[in-house]
A and B are shown apart, each in its own frame.
Chain A
Amino acid sequence: MSWLPANWSTRIYALLLLVLALAPFIFTWIGQPFYLDLLSRALILAIAVISLNLILGFGGMVSLGHAAYIGIGAYSVGIPSYYDYYNGWLHLALALTVSAVFALVTGAISLRTRGVYFIMITMAFSQMVYFTFLSLEEYGADDGLVIYSRSEFPEFISMEGATGLYYWIFALLLASLYFVHRLVHARFGRVIVGSKYNEQRMQALGFNTYRYRLVCYVISAMMCSLAGMLLGNFTSFISPDMIGWARSGELIFMVIIGGVGTLFGPLVGTIAFVVLEEALSAITIYWHLIFGIMLVALVLYGKGGIHGWLSLLDRKEEDRG
């Protein structure tokens, strides 16, 4: 069967993508359209987690403030909509520009620091965004903002309806995966990965690593704001709560469940997180306890996340072959 992908993990990921592509039909067929909502949310978050993994997994930049960019993306839909501007291209342009500018300024400062200082300074900047939106009385402050209509893309593919939005999300997810895949295998990506392991060496090779890392940070922020824009459209209700530091913590959590610095890890990690959250919270109101124990156990004993476990299959295969 030479047409099959070479190893088990790739086969499983290919199957996963196929299922995701057909999901709206599958869920209608089994009569559970609610699941599409769940999956839409998971895939939106997956885009954010993929963007975080780009800097965290490949670049070694642990940001505890990435939820800020989700917030920026979401409010880029919410605030224009508040003034009855529903043009999706406007929302998109706003999300990308504001996140890029904010990431450029804060990244330029943050990347002067290392390690734990970077964690703390990114958290500080996201708190600033959080308090900014919290204080905007005009846009609901802590009560949040209701978005009455989705972004409109005239003479383009509509976001209306659950299925329409789902395919928007799915297409952007595929684009993010492909983009990150190309990026980390390009020269740019090799420099980023190289400076994670040995920055001095990369500098000795003549690379201005600071500039590379900054560009990478800005790219990641812009990708994350796309997720925010989708989330604003999906939930049709946004609030500063989306930006709190615990949200950023959850994003890191999703990267770790899936597998740090891998292409598909963030996707499977996010789906696992969202599904577990939904399933556990249906069983007991104390589901955070199980979640917390899992998180501790995962770090102490389960290195490599889901991707790591799947690669174990591959290794067995190689042993046999």
Chain B
Amino acid sequence: MDWNLLISQLMNGLQLGLLLFLLASGLTLIFGIMDFINLSHGSFYMIGAYFCGTVVAYTGSFVLGVLIGLVGVFIVGALVEWFIARKLYREDHLDHVLVTFGLILIFDTLVHLLWGASGIAIPLPDVLNGQITLGNLVVPTYRLLIIVAGLLVAAILYILVAKTRLGMLIRAGASNRTMVEALGININRLFLFVFALGAAMAGLAGMLIAPITEASIGMGNDIIIVAFVVVIIGGIGSVKGAFYAAMILGLIDTLSRSYLDALLGLAMPSEYSETAAPALSAMLIYILMAAVLAFRPQGLFPPAGAK
């Protein structure tokens, strides 16, 4: 067995898991607290990447790109909440799906209008472009940075949600919104903040991945579905659940892509396993979600007291 390959695959899984967590943590809060299905959450991921790319192109500083990008996505998220989402919280889930589907079309086309049809690449500063040697393992510096940044944000979010008054309100909102309102909390302001925060975290995920993949139109539309799977598996409204589910999915997805082939090869002739493995590994997360929904619909780690 190639241990170096295994370790680097584990790191890739961790990286994917953390990016998923950045997307899913906002999604699960918006879902859990406002009971709002935001299909266009992936648009914030895309917008983050474009904002960051533009700032980097003008200033040459990746750090500045991330900081200004975060503020920009936060504002875009707040605007979406203020003008659109707010009107829909009390409506049917079907309406949420439709409006946010419309928003995806709007954002994708606006990006097309502003930045053109081809994606934009984000150059990395030289410091991040190199590789780090750990023992006999060579790791790209930037991948390590994504992992560190992801863990850092997860830690900050944990402190925010678990240790602060604001976090207490957020948790209370996810468990019982009506009660929070009845206790005299300005629920509109809380919603606005949570929505914009979620957008900013999705934007951050987009900024982190863009130097590897480049920013492109519709880049969020596939990963957002996986983020939804994370939210469902983790339990709607549960940041902790989102974290564990994101890690599980990230690892399952990465490891199955590299090892399922060999695993199936033990049970069937290799010409079949070579075709079946990619399909099965792509499906694995959906199979997992269907199983969770069928046997434990509230998710693996539902927020305390949620109905």
Give a binary string over B63-104; 1 marks a CB under 8 Å from any A CB, 0 the rest.
Answer: 000000000000000000000100110010111011101111
Residues of A close to B110: CB separation below 8 A? 289
Decide: B106 and A128 in contact? CB cutoff 8 A.
no
The answer to whether A75 has its CB under 8 Å from any CB of chain B is no
The docked-state distance in angstroms from the alpha carbon of A285 to that of B102 is 17
Q: A131-B279, A131-B283, A256-B98 are in contact. Are A124 and B103 (CB under 8 A)?
A: no
Decide: A120 and B293 in contact? CB cutoff 8 A.
yes
Decide: B290 and A300 in contact? CB cutoff 8 A.
no
Decide: A116 and B93 in contact? CB cutoff 8 A.
yes
How many pairs of residues, A versus B, come closer than 8 Å at their CB atoms? 127
Decide: A252 and B282 in contact? CB cutoff 8 A.
no
Q: Which of B144-152, B183-191, B224-232 contacts A (4 or more CB under 8 A)?
A: B224-232
Decide: A296 and B103 in contact? CB cutoff 8 A.
yes
Decide: A116 and B37 in contact? CB cutoff 8 A.
yes
Of A113, A134, A253, the contact of B297 (CB 8 Å cutoff): A113
The docked-state distance in angstroms from the alpha carbon of A106 to that of B287 is 11
Min distance, Cβ A230 to any Cβ of chain B, angstroms = 25
Min distance, Cβ B159 to any Cβ of chain A, angstroms = 29
User: In the complex, which of the residues A62, A116, A125, A289 has the most CB atoms of chain B within 10 Å of its own CB atom?
Assistant: A116
Decide: A127 and B283 in contact? CB cutoff 8 A.
yes
Min distance, Cβ A276 to any Cβ of chain B, angstroms = 13
User: In the complex, which of the residues B95, B229, B278, B290 has the most CB atoms of chain A within 10 Å of its own CB atom?
Assistant: B290
The docked-state distance in angstroms from the alpha carbon of A120 to that of B226 is 11
Residues of B close to A256: CB separation below 8 A? 94, 98
Residues of B close to A291: CB separation below 8 A? 102, 105
Residues of B close to A112: CB separation below 8 A? 293-294, 297
Decide: B99 and A253 in contact? CB cutoff 8 A.
no
Decide: B290 and A109 in contact? CB cutoff 8 A.
yes
- Of the A-B pairs whose beta carbons lie under 8 Å apart in the complex, a sample of 22, sorted by A's number, is A56-B94, A109-B294, A112-B293, A115-B93, A120-B289, A121-B289, A125-B286, A127-B286, A128-B283, A131-B283, A132-B279, A136-B279, A249-B39, A286-B109, A286-B113, A289-B109, A289-B113, A291-B105, A295-B98, A295-B101, A295-B102, A300-B99
Residues of B within 8 A of A (CB): 31, 37, 39, 84, 87-88, 91, 93-95, 97-99, 101-106, 108-110, 112-113, 221, 225, 228-229, 232, 236, 275-276, 278-279, 282-283, 286-287, 289-290, 293-294, 297
